[in-house]
Structure 1
Amino acid sequence: MTDIVNLFIVNLRGYKFLVGLNLLLLFNYVVPFKSLAQSEKPNVIFILADQWRADAVGYAGNTDVITPNLDRLAKESLVFDNAVTVMAVCAPWRASFLTGQYPLTNGVFYNDKPLPSEALTMAEIYKEQGYQTGYIGKWHLNGHKRGEDAFSARDKPVTKDRRQGFDYWKVREVTHDYNNSFYFDENDQRQVWEGYDAFSQTDSAISYIKKNKDNPFLLMMSWGPPHNPYHTAPAEYRAMYDPAKINLRENVPVHLQDSARKVIADYYAHITALDKAVGDLLNAIDKQGIADNTIFVFTSEHGDMLFSKGVLRKQRPWDESIKVPMLIRYPDKLRKAREIKGPINTPDLLPTLLGLSGISVPKSIEGTDFSSSLLSGKDIENEGALIMLPVPFHEWNFSNGGREFRGIRTERYTYVKDLAGPWLLYDNEKDPYQQKNLVGSPDYSNLQSTLEKVLQSKLDYTNDSFLPADDYMTQWNYLYDKQDSIRTKDYLKINR
């Protein structure tokens, strides 16, 4: 240090060029070189897709789907092989993520029910730390008043007091009309997304990043696709897929395979369009020079069965429904790309992001902060991720075979019980398509007992007594939507 100071003084007396050079050298010696305006706090960009299941990306070994930008991102990221949604449906996932709580704690265990305004959320926590906060796209947490038709609230603005700490605001409660899409801005004024809304939303996100690059910011962008309807992806992306060439999972019944190929081809078209948007966003981050100091997350709420086991959509306890892709890139602190095998659950995401951001985890959060393991180069140590369905509704309501369940997804096994007792047990290493139910098998009795204890410990931690659906609806003063409550007395025997 003394030699540098002396050199600086000598040059100061006669060589103006060297003065500037040595000032730079001295500054580099004392502090790491960064733009003076750039914050030491990491930015957080969270990209959420809707209904994108874990196997629908090239980096996971899928040779049909075209995702070059996500494949590139995976080479620079932590790749979570077992990202498990606590409840495989839209609103409950969102409430669980934003609060770090389980659905029976925050009360959002049914679509179109409101997240309480007093809930402590992600944006409020980051905002307290000096962050700018922004949200773009689908919200699905405003809910509706008791007795109103649930879907009617999906086209109404979310007032400022219901935005849970987000300031920049270009949001629609819910839409699945991706080519004729509108939103409400900060002033509750209705605006229109031009063309395919995910592309316009990405442009808005890029604009937000440019304006806030010199300050720490939290930006969440929530796309509607690849959620159905699947045939509405832009034509140029649909043209990239021939249904006849789509490879199917082994658990798609033969009589449904033609239908499955057509649906999956369109599903992949949405995915490739979104992959293009990911590429645009990553390029913009690079151009603004903030990539190293930005925690970039890509994931989804839940998957879609897509005719595996002969069914469509979500809420089910099978991997096609509960497992999602997840990548986290943070070059400043997570310097090496690697696979994370340990299961991570929805309530764990917020505390882990807070840990990566150097922010203390509030006591209201129930999930686990895995940031220390990730930062130290270790895998996640977790006995298993909790999966649940307290109240079946809508596409998988009681009359469609829905049932209340609780389960555990470990790195290798899936164990699920319903109100009648143990229901499902799979060895996902030997049986990746979950076609052999091992519940009650003498050879697996010890394993079943062990997993039952793991599941019960999770339920004890969350104060979950695993009651019938009606109990929770009464407790939270909710009404069933439409025909969701209709069931036969022996509904638990369906497909058992």
Structure 2
Amino acid sequence: MATFTHKLFFGFLLVALGILTLGVRNSPKPEEPLNILILHTDQWRAQAFGYRGDPNVKTPHIDQLAAESANLFNAVSGMPVCTPHRASLLTGQHPLTHGLFMNDVQLDTTAITIAEVLADAGYQTGYIGKWHLDGRGRHSFTPPGGRRQGFQYWKALECSHNYNNSAYYTANSPEKKFWEGYDAIAQAEDAQQYIRDHAQDEQPFFLFVSWGTPHAPYRTAPQEYLNMYAPKEMQLHPNVPPEMDSMVRADLAGYYAHCTALDDQIANILQTLEDTGTSDNTIILFTSDHGDLLGSHRAYKKQQPYEESIRVPMLIRHPQILPGEYAALMNSYDIMPTLLGLSDAQIPSSVEGYDFSEYLIEQLPLPDTTTLISCVQPFGQWNRFDRGGKEYRGIVTLRYTYTRDLNGSWLFFDNQRDPYQMNNLINNPAYSELQQELDKLLTKKLKKQGDEFRPGMEYIREWGYPVDAKETVPYTP
């Protein structure tokens, strides 16, 4: 297996990367456009896979996919919450550009999305599962046209995590329908049927499968998967405080049950690609919108700038890309231009993300060794243990994570020496020079994005979003 090796240095000008450049794969360029399949999960943290060394979880099929793919192991969700990530994925833009820097608001119908670009290039487009980009109520009907953002085939719902009584809308009908049984299985079966229906078409397809799991509620997977995990056997991250031990063990067992259920569904979809003869001419992207803290740092869910929250799986299988580990810090807004680059489709001028396609295919040196993370509008209290979120801006390098809150420097970690981020280096004399350099670099990158880092309510007022007393958009669960 081909891998990149890298070594990080820091001095006066911060961090540099040395890459062993590999030979270009001698696969012929496909004569016909490649299909594109996005397998997208909700709240699956990058650490929770067999191929990433998790001692608890069973993900044999995704582990095999990882062995066949480019594994962008440094990938992050730049604003680790559902709606902002999804909008950035579809548009290739930063959250303060497309305006979806919080959940439950609507993506502008004039946005230029990957589905629209690919449809214009002759692709058939389809979307199955959780949408979370319409902002009209989590169970509302999203009609055909602009609010579906270029997707033609449609079996989706704005948002639901009731996995065993999960609704969707399809075609032009406002009639609410329901997936049979556990929705992840039913949605995978629908994706398999879509592939069968379009495998022999002259037009390529772009299919986006968006599952709601392994997001909470955790213990709602089918019993056969729940039976695979005993809470008492779970090994916890050392950054989970002892008083949360019992709760986290139970939740982690349920979380992993969802993960393994999805692993089986991905195996079924991949087998359908093989059975229909479309495996070798389909680009596969497997990822998630953000991670889940699951008790780490005394918190649950996402948004916070810790590894369990911001790091996401990012696997890309493509006939011209050598399998192996790739160091690129791919962000949410880099996915659209990279997929367009891999499919030889034109990247619109509205895109702000980076196209990593040449880096991946030609084994080029990294164009940048940093990326940004941010939170504009934090959630309030998530559970009885959590202390609530903060607004922040941060920079992630190949080794360090540095963040500021509205009061100044906040968190600074050496992720190589301290992978569980238990030693905050802020104001540590041994790291003062590096802290200053990271702070300057963060300021420079924020300025380039036009982000003044003001209080979140100022952005909310500018975009005209109605919020409740918790400063979040009200919605019907």
Give the TM-score normalised by the residue count of structure 2. Answer: 0.89
CA drift of 1:481 comes to 3.2
- Give the Cα–Cα distance (whole angstroms) in 1 for the partners of residues 29 and 65 of structure 2: 26
* Aligned partner letter, 2:129: G
- Which of 185, 191, 194 is the aligned partner of 1:208? 194
- Which of 223, 236, 255 is the aligned partner of 1:248? 236
- Which of 434, 439, 446 is the aligned partner of 1:452? 439
* Aligned partner letter, 2:239: N
- Give the Cα–Cα distance (whole angstroms) in 2 for the partners of residues 174 and 235 of structure 1: 24
1:306 aligns with 2:294: yes
Secondary structure in 1 matching 2:57: coil
- Which of 275, 280, 283 is the aligned partner of 1:287? 275
CA drift of 1:382 comes to 2.1
Task: Indicate if the aligned counterparts of 2:127 and 2:209 stay in contact, CA closer than 8 A.
Answer: yes
Task: Indicate if the aligned counterparts of 2:126 and 2:206 stay in contact, CA closer than 8 A.
Answer: yes
Secondary structure in 2 matching 1:263: helix
CA drift of 1:186 comes to 1.1
1:483 aligns with 2:470: yes
Superposition misfits of 4+ residues, deviation over 6 angstroms: none
Secondary structure in 1 matching 2:338: helix
Task: Indicate if the aligned counterparts of 2:375 and 2:392 stay in contact, CA closer than 8 A.
Answer: yes
- Give the Cα–Cα distance (whole angstroms) in 2 for the partners of residues 319 and 395 of structure 1: 20
Structure 1's 66 and 390: CA in aligned 2 closer, same or farther, altered over 3 A? Answer: same
- Give the Cα–Cα distance (whole angstroms) in 2 for the partners of residues 394 and 220 of structure 1: 31
1:391 aligns with 2:374: no
- Which of 56, 75, 82 is the aligned partner of 2:74? 82
- Give the Cα–Cα distance (whole angstroms) in 2 for the partners of residues 52 and 278 of structure 1: 14
Task: Indicate if the aligned counterparts of 1:383 and 1:454 stay in contact, CA closer than 8 A.
Answer: no
Q: Could you give the per-residue CA deviations for residues 62-116 of structure 1, whole angstroms, max 9, x where no partner exists?
A: 1210001001111100111111001111111101110000111001011101101
Give 5+ residue unaligned stretches, structure 1. Answer: 1-31, 145-152, 486-496
- Give the Cα–Cα distance (whole angstroms) in 1 for the partners of residues 109 and 29 of structure 2: 42
CA drift of 1:377 comes to 2.3
- Give the Cα–Cα distance (whole angstroms) in 2 for the partners of residues 204 and 414 of structure 1: 40
Q: Could you give the per-residue CA deviations for residues 384-429 of structure 1, whole angstroms, max 9, x where no partner exists?
A: 12110111135569x9532211001111100000111111110000
Secondary structure in 2 matching 1:220: strand
- Give the Cα–Cα distance (whole angstroms) in 1 for the partners of residues 177 and 242 of structure 2: 45
- Give the Cα–Cα distance (whole angstroms) in 2 for the partners of residues 96 and 481 of structure 1: 25
Give the TM-score normalised by the residue count of structure 1. Answer: 0.86
Task: Indicate if the aligned counterparts of 2:379 and 2:388 stay in contact, CA closer than 8 A.
Answer: no
- Give the Cα–Cα distance (whole angstroms) in 2 for the partners of residues 395 and 43 of structure 1: 42
* Aligned partner letter, 2:167: F
- Give the Cα–Cα distance (whole angstroms) in 2 for the partners of residues 178 and 380 of structure 1: 40
CA drift of 1:129 comes to 0.3
Give 5+ residue unaligned stretches, structure 2. Answer: 1-27, 473-477
Residue 408 of structure 2 corresponds to: 421
Task: Indicate if the aligned counterparts of 1:340 and 1:380 stay in contact, CA closer than 8 A.
Answer: no
Secondary structure in 1 matching 2:247: helix
1:126 aligns with 2:107: no
Q: How does 1:18-37 map to 2 (within 5 A)?
A: none
- Give the Cα–Cα distance (whole angstroms) in 1 for the partners of residues 389 and 382 of structure 2: 5
Residue 143 of structure 2 corresponds to: 159
Secondary structure in 2 matching 1:94: helix
1:362 aligns with 2:348: yes
* Aligned partner letter, 1:49: T
- Give the Cα–Cα distance (whole angstroms) in 1 for the partners of residues 278 and 437 of structure 2: 46
Structure 1's 395 and 365: CA in aligned 2 closer, same or farther, altered over 3 A? Answer: farther
**Bigger Cα Rg:** 1
* Aligned partner letter, 2:219: H
Task: Indicate if the aligned counterparts of 1:315 and 1:396 stay in contact, CA closer than 8 A.
Answer: no
CA drift of 1:210 comes to 1.1
CA drift of 1:381 comes to 3.4
Task: Indicate if the aligned counterparts of 2:304 and 2:390 stay in contact, CA closer than 8 A.
Answer: no
1:73 aligns with 2:65: yes
Task: Indicate if the aligned counterparts of 1:124 and 1:164 stay in contact, CA closer than 8 A.
Answer: yes
- Give the Cα–Cα distance (whole angstroms) in 2 for the partners of residues 342 and 192 of structure 1: 40
Task: Indicate if the aligned counterparts of 2:380 and 2:389 stay in contact, CA closer than 8 A.
Answer: no
Name the % identity: 48
Secondary structure in 2 matching 1:276: helix
Residue 53 of structure 1 corresponds to: 45
Higher RCO structure, 1 or 2 (CA under 8 Å, sep 6+): 2
Residue 179 of structure 1 corresponds to: 164
Secondary structure in 1 matching 2:285: strand
Residue 168 of structure 1 corresponds to: 153
Residue 430 of structure 2 corresponds to: 443
Secondary structure in 2 matching 1:480: coil
- Which of 337, 345, 367 is the aligned partner of 2:331? 345
Residue 4 of structure 2 corresponds to: none
CA drift of 1:482 comes to 4.2
Q: How does 1:363-378 map to 2 (within 5 A)?
A: 363-378=349-364
- Which of 186, 191, 212 is the aligned partner of 2:177? 191
- Give the Cα–Cα distance (whole angstroms) in 1 for the partners of residues 362 and 152 of structure 2: 34
Of residues 354-363 and 129-138 in structure 1, the stretch that sits farther from structure 2 once superposed is 354-363
CA drift of 1:190 comes to 2.2
CA RMSD of aligned residues (A): 1.7
- Which of 105, 124, 135 is the aligned partner of 1:143? 135
Residue 402 of structure 1 corresponds to: 389
Task: Indicate if the aligned counterparts of 2:300 and 2:382 stay in contact, CA closer than 8 A.
Answer: no
- Give the Cα–Cα distance (whole angstroms) in 2 for the partners of residues 125 and 52 of structure 1: 28
- Give the Cα–Cα distance (whole angstroms) in 1 for the partners of residues 139 and 169 of structure 2: 9
- Give the Cα–Cα distance (whole angstroms) in 2 for the partners of residues 394 and 258 of structure 1: 23
Of residues 276-285 and 457-466 in structure 1, the stretch that sits farther from structure 2 once superposed is 457-466
Residue 233 of structure 1 corresponds to: 221
Q: Between Structure 1 and Structure 2, how many residues are aligned?
A: 439
Task: Indicate if the aligned counterparts of 2:380 and 2:388 stay in contact, CA closer than 8 A.
Answer: no
- Give the Cα–Cα distance (whole angstroms) in 2 for the partners of residues 272 and 324 of structure 1: 17
- Which of 90, 102, 113 is the aligned partner of 2:105? 113
